[in-house]
Amino acid sequence: MDSLVPLALILILLAPVMCFPWRVGKVRSGESGKVKQSLLYFLYSAIPVFGFVMLSFAFVGIEELMDTSLVTEGLARSLLLLTGGGLIWVTVATIVFVIRIIFMRGNAD
């Protein structure tokens, strides 16, 4: 259970970086528009953040039903920090992505 936080942190940090060339390539090739790819970039980048929150809530729910301690104090303390920091990171990465595709030559939307 304690290894969930570092794994979530790595996924939260790497998801926007890995999606960037993939989504830019879709715009450059003309497969779809800039607005659609911007929204998809945000959604794909935010999946690890939302997944971590949902998993944490699921652990808390199971803990309440079973009367056992599943959620460690480290996981509970990292929920707000990872969620807030992750959403800020995804938002900044999305802004950078939008600026990148606005100034990209080629497929004009």
| pTM of the complete model | 0.81
Which candidate, 99, 101, 86, 100, places its Cα nearest to that of 16?
86
Query: Residues 68, 78, 50, CA angle at the centre, nearest 5°?
Result: 90
Give residue limits of the domains in the chain. 4-102
Kindly give, in sequence order, each residue whose CB lies less than 8 Å from that of residue 16, ignoring residues fewer than 6 positions away: 41, 45, 89, 90, 93, 94, 97
4-44: pLDDT as tens digits: 788 888 999 999 999 999 999 999 888 888 999 999 999 99
For 82, the token pair is: 């990872």
